Amino acid sequence: MDSSPPLREKKDSFHDLPIVFQCENCRTIIGDSFASVSSNSTLKMVTLDRVTKKVRIRDKLVSSSHTTDLGSSYNPLACETCNSDLGRIYRTTTIHLDELRDKFSLYVDRLSCYQIGSEEQKASLSSAAIPSVHYLQQQIIKLQAVSVSLNGRLMEIEDRLKEDSS
């Protein structure tokens, strides 16, 4: 029997790549999908268990009056950079929203996001135009000749300036 650990399969799925969440207004990064807890299409929110320090928890405790989260209370969340409303951190919830309690629930329509690695492109040495060593040596010799010529001209100008100032 082979006791080596199984090889990890390459993840090609679009959903396996991490997503970065930004404030829609100022593009400040506020979190990523590594902290994702859930998403709620009814509330139009994505919930994270941690966010960056650019998300401020407002002091005011609000009781919800919407039918979806009626009976819940929360602190509003704001972007530290531009002060835009970003979402809620529920403090009390009904049973069906328990997974949101003390987590960062962000309004989907207040977020901008991008997926890391979503545009995959691999470099190929065969397609790259790599110059030969001989070509590079020729170019260096040309640069040296131009540098020597410019140095000679500069020295002539400096000598003339010295003569004119004397």
Q: pLDDT, tens digit, for every residue of 66-93? A: 888 888 999 999 999 999 999 999 999 9
Same domain assignment for residues 150 and 84:
no
Q: What is the pLDDT of residues 138-159, one digit of tens each?
A: 888 888 888 888 888 889 898 8
CA-to-CA dists, residue 62 to 66, 103, 111, angstroms? 12, 16, 22
| Domain limits for position 98 | 16-115
Total domains in the chain come to: 2
Same domain assignment for residues 106 and 157:
no
Q: Is the pLDDT of residue 106 over 70?
A: yes
Contact 86, 113 (CB under 8 A): no
Note whether residue 107 is domain-resident.
yes
pLDDT value for 121: 58
Note whether residue 10 is domain-resident.
no
Average pLDDT, the chain: 82
Same domain assignment for residues 64 and 136:
no
List the CATH number of the domain containing 53. 2.170.150.20
Torsion sign over Cα 158, 160, 164, 166? positive
Phi and psi torsions of 50, nearest 5°:
-155, 150
Tokens, residue 48: 């994270």
Say what the pTM is.
0.61
CA-to-CA dists, residue 121 to 117, 118, 124, 127, angstroms? 9, 9, 9, 13
Same domain assignment for residues 78 and 156:
no
